[in-house]
Every structure is written in structure tokens, then in C-alpha cells.
Amino acid sequence: MRPWWMSLLALAAGAALPLAFAPFSIAPLAILLPALLLALLPERRPRRALGLGYLFGLGCFGVGVSWVHISIHVFGGTPLVAAILVAALLVAFLALFPALAAWLTVWLAPLVGWPRYLLAAPAAWVLSEWLRGWLFTGFPWLLAGYTQLDTPLAGYAPVLGVHGVGLLLLVTAGALAAGIRSRRTGQRVLLLALVMGVWLGGSLLRHHDWTRAVGEPLEVSLVQGNIAQDRKWQETWQRATLARYLELSRREWSDPAREVDLVVWPETAIPAFYHQIEDGFLRQLRRESRQADSELLTGIPVLDREQWAYYNAVMRVGGEDSFYFKRHLVPFGEYLPLRQWLGTLLQVMPLPVADFSSGGAQQPLLRVAGHPVGVSICYEIIFGTELLATLPEARLLVNVSNDAWFGDSLAPHQHLQMARMRALEAGRELLRATNTGISAVIDHRGRLRERGPQFEVAVVRASAQPREGATPYVQRGDLPVLLLVAGMLALGYAVRNGYKPEP
């Protein structure tokens, strides 16, 4: 095959990979397309592999995160050309990670055969994804493991997390590529047995409950106000926004068919600082929630007037006010990195002040209806290891978000998919309240129990069961997978000179 055809195939395979993720969820593509990339990688030419991996990454992220320009242009007010340029730079950066995986695969395993497909490639892929999850604050979007939430491989998520699922997925893809190239029937049988064993193990694990129910289920209502992003922070819309959320909550509290234990509003559902409405609207909200014998969690910005620091927060209303301050902020959206060098560069987020401060790493958990709750705000839900800080103490997970920033794009569906993985890893039910959707209740096995519509005013109602106990992933995090990856890379390097290809 001519080199330019191989380059085109790598680019096309990467561009098709987002079809394996939500909302399309064509899970087999997550096996077939990486297997195709592996088949294209040359022998003994790491630099050529680097280029093919980079083209694969350009296709994947060019399609999969194309929604970034919507946030920057439509809602950030940046000119379209500049927004596209920023999005293109992000894609160009993210494509470096698949390029690294392809280069490392060929460098470790210069000869085509099982060491490349079963050791080097899976380990290199997962290593590159792990690096992408924390380097420069991290962007762990479109990790391979997310595609398998509805397949038997999901059974490994409470044990090894999303990276473990991704590793086993790439072992499957590698076995497919090795089987196609192999001329030995016996080797193909062994590869098939390996894949069947991996998938059978996942199927058995899917039926195991790692955590247990504690107490009675809570009746919850997730309020989706559907406030347009371009109106959200307009002062003229503030009263209407508060009135909408209060009226929707009153209907829940006055419903004779349900006794609502918890109402959840989305991220910054209250478009005013805490101190500005503490003695007015919030006093009324406290009174009405107490009368209904209910509690409420809402997103609200908070100003610490002693330190003059701004926080993106979730507040518990009911009894004494308590707060969770967002820890992992969005670079260039909620804070300006490298401010000492970038100065007062215009930020894209049209908030009263977009330079938020990060909350402390050891914040006490909020409690609702007597249960400790692990709260995350928007972007934080994509970082699995950070959520571990709330576990196993938290009996319920709550994520508030404002996916209006993404418009009608792939992002809200991808974001929900990642939230499902967090529930599965933690063995906890997760309540997700968003401004414009997709609000949902997710069970401890990562399944959608209730889901609201997009771009509509809605309330998602369900019973949420608090749970206790710890999954193996909660106990050990990513360490087992990282040790496994290191071992596979070391073994691949050890056999690189001793391996003899088939005649």
C-alpha cells in the first residue's frame, strides 16, 4: 500500500472513532479502528509510526472535540476565525498523545508479532491516555474505556477503572490484528481463547455488587431550568431565573404523591453571589425547604470578602448553609493559567469575574438527609481519581453542570457518558443536574435510570439509594493499571531482540 493511502486511512480511522462514543455508542468500532491503526504501523520505523499516530489523533479529536469552538465563539464572544484557530491548536496538541503511543509501540516492538500487539500497543495507548489525563491540568476526554459501558468489559471498571477497561479493550484490538496477520492456526486459537477469557471475566464481574445499600431510598428531584447561556448572567434575567427554579421546586415540595427528600439545581443555577441574596431570596428558599421537610443543593458563586477570592460552589440549603468549592477549574474558562506571563489576557467566559479560586483538597463532605454526599461540579466529573477523595465516605454522588456552553453538539452526550463511568467505578448512584440537559439519575452499575430531555424546562424524578462500601478501584485507584502497564512495557522491551517473527 502506498504511504499516502496509509496516511489517509489513519486519518479516516481516527475521524470515525468518535462514533464509538456517545451519542452513537457503536462500541465495536473502538476495537476495529485501533486494530486498523496497528495494522498500518510499519516495522522498524518509529518516525513513520509517529506520523500515522498523529494523523489518527487529528481525525479523532478533530471530530470528537470539535464542539470546543462553540463555547469560545458562540458563548465566549470570540470571533469565529479565532475560535476555530484555538480549537485547531487544541486538536493539534491532543493528537500528540496517539502519536506518542504509535511511536512507542514500534520502538518497543520493531517486529510485527504478538509482543507488539499484546504488550507494546495496549500499554503504550493506555500510558498516553493516562498522561493526557493530568499533563497541563489534564484533558481526559474520549478515553477508550468509555466506549465499553454497555459491553461485558464494563465489569472491570469497579476493579481497574476506565484505564483498565481501555487496556483490555486494546488487548482485544491487538489480538484481532495479530490474528489477522498470523498464519498459524494454533496461534489464532490461543488469541481467540485470550479474548474470550477477557470478555467472559468482564461478563461475570458485571453481576457482582461491590457495594451495599444503606438506609432507605431518597426521593430526589433534579431541576433543569433551561436558561439560555446568553441570558444567564444578564441582570434583567436574574429575577426570572430565580423565580423559575423556585416555582419548579415548589411544585415538587407540594406534590401530594411524593415526599421529596432532596432537590438539586444545576451549576450556578443562582446567577448572583451568595452575599448578594443571602438575606433575601436565600432566606425564603430556606424557609420553604424546611416547611417541606426537604433539602436542596444548588450551584452558586461565592465571594470570600476577606481574601477577595471567588469560588464556583455548591451550597446545601436546609439547616445551616454549607458549601463545596470547586477544586479542578477549567483553564482559560474559570481561571487564567500563567497569569504572571499572560497578564490580563481577555478570558472567554462572560461571568462577573472569571478568575475563580480553587477550593481546598480536603473539604468536608456535604450531608443531605443524614448521608454524606460526594459533590463535583461540571468538568470535575471527568477526573476519576479526584472523585476518590470523597470515597468511601460518600454514600451518594452529585454532579451539577451547565452544558449549555457546548450547544447542540456531541459534548453533553460525551459528558454524561463519563458521569456513568464514575458511578460504575465508585459503586454509587449519581445524580446529575444540568441547566439545559442532559440531567439524569445513574445507578451504581453505571446504567441510566432516569434521563431528562435536552433544551427543555424539566424535572427528573427518581428514588436514589445511598450505598456504602468500597470497590477495588476506590481502594487502589489507577495504581494496579499503571503497574500492569509498566510491566507490559518492560516485558515488551525485554523480548524485542529475542522475538523471531513467523517464517
User: Three-class SS of residue 197?
Assistant: helix
Cα separation of 52 and 38, whole Å? 10
**Is 378 in the active site?**
yes
Alpha carbon distances (Å) from 332 to 137, 354, 501 = 12, 9, 50
Give the DSSP letter of residue 54.
Answer: H
Q: Are 167 and 213 in contact (CB under 8 A)?
A: no
Question: Catalytic pick from 129, 232, 252, 378?
Answer: 378
Give the DSSP letter of residue 383.
Answer: -
Residue 497 CA, distance from chain mean position: 39
* Residue 38: how many other CB atoms lie within 10 Å: 26
Query: What is the 3-class SS of 241-274, one letter each residue?
Result: HHHHHHHHHHHHHCCCCCCCCEEECCCCCCCCCH
**Is 232 in the active site?**
no
Question: Catalytic pick from 219, 232, 326, 425?
Answer: 326
* HSE, side-chain direction, 13 A CA sphere, residue 155: 14
Question: Catalytic pick from 129, 267, 295, 425?
Answer: 267
**Is 60 in the active site?**
no
Cα separation of 485 and 255, whole Å? 53
* Residue 247: closest CA among 276, 228, 223: 223
Residue 411, Cβ density class (10 Å: 0-12 exposed, 13-18 middle, ≥19 buried): buried
Cα separation of 272 and 222, whole Å? 20
Residues noted as catalytic: 267, 326, 378
